[in-house]
């Protein structure tokens, strides 16, 4: 939290198929695994690009692993959507979790690292992940969806737990050879 790159829309990726883009995606996956995350947006590692990676189950236990570049989110309309209030955390707000309403279905449209079109459909927890990570690339965190009171509570949780979270991440990084 507090990094300027997290609070503004990211730049669109315009060059696909480059070794640099592939390396960034690989590095983001490793960073996400070290931090025990289900998703990670490029701006969370200081890179101003519309890109995120994910390794996230849906509500049926199906694991979804991949990346999407320049995502655009399609959500169900008001007449056909179901909002689910569930706890959500964020690697940029270490140690905090708050209930956030999200739709139970989402579709992300974008591109893979080679520039081929992608359409990713998410249900349940995976839909939440797609919405959370797309929020990042447009300059929002889940804290922006909270009331002032809940936002303050989340920031207090982060302050209270941050050192423990970072210590756990350091241990995991050492195990993974980072």
Note the pLDDT tens digit of each residue in 64-78: 999 999 999 998 888
Return the closest-CA partner of residue 51 out of 28, 34, 31: 28
* β 51-57/39-41 pair status: antiparallel
Residue extents of the structural domains in the chain: 14-172
Catalytic residues: 133
Fill in the DSSP letter of residue 12.
P
Segment 1-9 shows an average pLDDT of: 86
pLDDT (mean) for 145-174: 87
The CA angle 11-26-30, to the nearest 5 degrees, is 110
pLDDT tens digits, residue range 90-118? 999 988 999 999 999 999 999 999 999 99
Quick one: tokens of 37? 């995350």
CA–CA distance, 91 with 100 (Å, rounded to integer)? 16
Nearest to 66 by CA among 138, 104, 13, 119: 119
Assigned CATH for 14-172: 3.90.45.10
For residue 88, give the 3-state DSSP assignment: strand
Average pLDDT of the chain to the nearest whole number: 93
């Amino acid at each position: 939290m507090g990094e300027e790159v997290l609070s503004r829309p990211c730049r669109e990726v315009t060059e696909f198929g480059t070794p640099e883009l592939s390396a960034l995606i690989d590095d983001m996956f490793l960073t996400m695994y070290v931090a025990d995350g289900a998703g990670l947006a490029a701006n969370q590692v200081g890179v101003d690009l519309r890109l995120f990676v994910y390794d996230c189950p849906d509500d049926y236990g199906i694991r979804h692993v991949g990346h999407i570049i320049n995502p655009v989110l399609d959500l169900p309309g008001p007449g056909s959507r179901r909002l689910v209030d569930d706890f959500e955390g964020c690697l940029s707000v270490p140690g905090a979790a708050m209930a956030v309403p999200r739709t139970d279905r989402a579709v992300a449209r974008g591109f893979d690292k080679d520039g081929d079109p992608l359409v990713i459909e998410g249900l349940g927890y995976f839909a939440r992940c797609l919405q959370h990570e797309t929020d990042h690339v447009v300059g929002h965190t889940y804290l922006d969806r909270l009331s002032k009171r809940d936002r303050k509570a989340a920031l207090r949780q982060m302050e209270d737990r941050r050192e423990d979270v970072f210590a756990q991440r350091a241990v995991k990084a050492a195990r993974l050879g980072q």
